Each structure stands twice: as C-alpha cells, then as structure tokens.
Structure 1
C-alpha cells in the first residue's frame, strides 16, 4: 500500500470478508486474531483483485515497511528529515542499513537510493503538473541542494528537463506501485 486510497481499499476488502482490522497503515494490517489458512486464501484472492498481495514473511514485511517509509517521507512529509536516509531508515526499522540495503536490492532488483530518487522525481512531476510552486520552491521542499541538482537528476531519470516536462506534459506521473 502506498497511499491513503490504498489503505481505504484494503480496509474495505477486509471488512467485506467480515474482518474488523484494529489498524490499517501503509504496508501493514493489524488484526485481533490469527487467520485460518482458508481465510488467508480468501483474503489473498480478494486483495489480488485490487492489485495487492499478502506479505507474510519477515523479509517481505521489511521491504514493504521500507517502501512505505520512503513514500511517506517523500509524498507526505516533503522529505523533511534532519538526518540522511540511511540513518532515518535504520532508526525507524531498527535494522542496520547495510542489511536493509542488501535485502532491498536482492528482493527488488534496485537500490534503496534509486527507489528514493524515483519517488522524489515522481513527486517533482506531480508538483510541476500542479504548477503551484516554482522549481526553486520544489527543490527546497524536496531537500535538493540546488535547482541544478534537481534538474540534473530529473533529466537523468526522465530524459527531459523539468521545464521541457512542464511544457510538453509528456511522461506525466506513474502510479507509485509501478516504481
């Protein structure tokens, strides 16, 4: 789950099957009781219909939590952390960053840093399309050291400059779950 709508859809799927989740957060659902094998299968089928999957093992949950923290950081908190990403993730997940990084790369086929950059670029695209902030304000909001750094990273990822992207409105935004 990568957004508030995802949370609503997942909660609704649980409720339609007669479950009352104690909490539904990004990448995590807490229930009051254990599910039977049949209940898990029914839930899995229902969630797959919406493009979700049950992650039941520890490693998968850690990847989901890592992604959720990055998405939340970039899309809801505007990258407002007072430390670097590796320290932030280590502190939030209570794991050594090298372990998190190796696990993420092994499972996802990309690095945490590339995933983080992809999320930031999608956020830049969103803000450019909304046309409410200048490029300078966007760079500041997303913790880029300069407009030049943002522009170079944007072009490296999209093949377009932010100005060209804004002008032609090509390659708009990708759904967060496709990053």
Structure 2
C-alpha cells in the first residue's frame, strides 16, 4: 500500500532564480532602513496593541487639529515621519508574515512526507538485513546509528523537560 503523500510541488530553476532575485531586491530596498533588535530590546520596546494604535491615531488627529497644543519637546515633523513609515510598513509586514507562514506550512508537509518515507525505507532495510539481503545490513547499520542518536537526544530532552 502506497504511503499518503500530503503535498507534491516542485520549483523550476527559473522560478527559484526569480524568487531569489525579488528577495534580494527587497533586501536592497530595506538596507539601511530596517533594524535588528536584540531579544532584550524587543522586550524593552514591545509592540503596541490595537488599542494603543487607536490612541496614537487619535493623538495624531488632535495634534493636527490643534498644532499650538503640541509640546515643544515633541518633534512633530519626526512624529509624522515615523507615523507614515509605520503605516507604510504594516501592510507589507502582514503580507510577508503570511508568505512566511505559507512557506513554513509547505515545508512542514514536505518534511513530514520525507520523514514518513524515510521511516518506511529504514524499516525495509531492517527487514532486508534480517533476511540477509546483500548490502542491506550495511545500509541498515549506517542508518541505525542516526536513529539511536535521535532517540538518545529525545530521551535526554524528555528527561531534562521532566526534571525542570
């Protein structure tokens, strides 16, 4: 009985080249305009929630209606510049996050298909090695060492997780 194949896709070399070219173009456009925060900085600055976005929008509206009420220590031009750039970025971030999730989900299914087939191949090699099929024992023993490492790592992780 054939194994269920959850996904079947392939990319042409032209598609991959085109994708890479466009990703590189995005990187070039963003170079010098984006930053990489440390985990500590991400924690420090955080993200503003939807409620706080509404507060920022309302403050901007009031600042524009009553420019004489804007405190002198607020650089209104810089505030407007930051506000505009944030609005320009937000939709693009959502699009990139959506594309990233699609790629990750696709990779997950591809990984699942590959690993399921690998397990079937390994079991077949174990069976053939037991039947003394020429060369099967060498393949089985080679793969067996990898499964022992994976099993040991999982057991170590489980032990660490339960003792924490």
Indicate the TM-score class for this superposition, using the shorter chain for normalisation. Answer: under 0.3
More helix as a share of residues: 2
Larger radius of gyration: 2
- Higher relative contact order at CA 8 Å, sep ≥6: structure 1 or structure 2? 2
State the TM-score, normalized to the length of structure 1: 0.23
